């Protein structure tokens, strides 16, 4: 993938994820996108990050418990180790973090 394609696709993905999180309408979650980093903060102070990694042409997801690297594969961001897509991994991680913060099980779906 060339640099221009990566830049456009990764920026569109991060904006889509931010908009998807905002669309959840939860006051307990704040999503901010700045300089290629999507920071997601939960009211208890837990943070998740999705960031661009231009030299590697990847997106990385950092959660309080783990980190994941996603490659662009046939129009999808895929974690080659686990075979999961970015939206799925972020939904799972965000659900866990928000569930802990609220003290009850919550299932959130985010796509970008």
Please tell me the predicted confidence (pLDDT) of residue 112: 55
Q: What is the pLDDT of residues 65-91, one digit of tens each?
A: 899 999 999 889 999 898 999 999 999
With contact defined as beta carbons under 8 Å apart, do 84 and 93 qualify?
A: no
* pLDDT per residue as tens, the chain (112 positions): 899 999 999 999 999 999 988 988 888 899 999 999 999 999 889 999 999 999 999 999 999 989 999 999 988 999 989 899 999 999 999 889 888 887 877 777 766 5
């Amino acid at each position: 993938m060339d640099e221009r394609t990566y830049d456009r696709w990764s920026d569109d993905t991060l904006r889509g994820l931010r908009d998807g999180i905002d669309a959840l309408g939860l006051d307990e979650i704040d999503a901010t996108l700045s300089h290629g980093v999507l920071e997601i903060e939960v009211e208890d102070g837990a943070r998740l990050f999705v960031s661009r990694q231009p030299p590697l042409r990847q997106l990385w997801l950092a959660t309080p418990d783990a980190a994941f690297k996603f490659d662009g594969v046939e129009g999808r961001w895929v974690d080659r180790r686990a075979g999961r897509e970015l939206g799925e991994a972020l939904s799972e991680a965000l659900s866990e973090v928000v569930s802990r913060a609220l003290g009850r099980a919550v299932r959130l779906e985010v796509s970008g």
